[in-house]
Structure 1
């Protein structure tokens, strides 16, 4: 499992190319160092799915 900032489209592209599946989008789920609300996207890749690649 991993997550990244929802605005980080480059990371999302890489994770999806590697076979990770998007499992959740968490809107306004955390605050950055400046106090701004940020959203995240969560991914998972099962061992069996990786071994098939």
Structure 2
């Protein structure tokens, strides 16, 4: 029987890959957007959290 801690490095790798893919998608979406959409993308979090 393997301990849960043996899966730590694998879980960390999976989490890092998911974060990287998410950031990549956000950057690509931002890069492809027109000027007005980019402004809206910056304003949306401020409106939601502010």
TM-score of Structure 1 vs Structure 2, range by shorter chain:
under 0.3
Q: Which has the higher helix share?
A: 2
Higher relative contact order (CA 8 A, sep 6+): 1
Name the larger-Rg structure. 2
Q: Which has the higher strand share?
A: 1
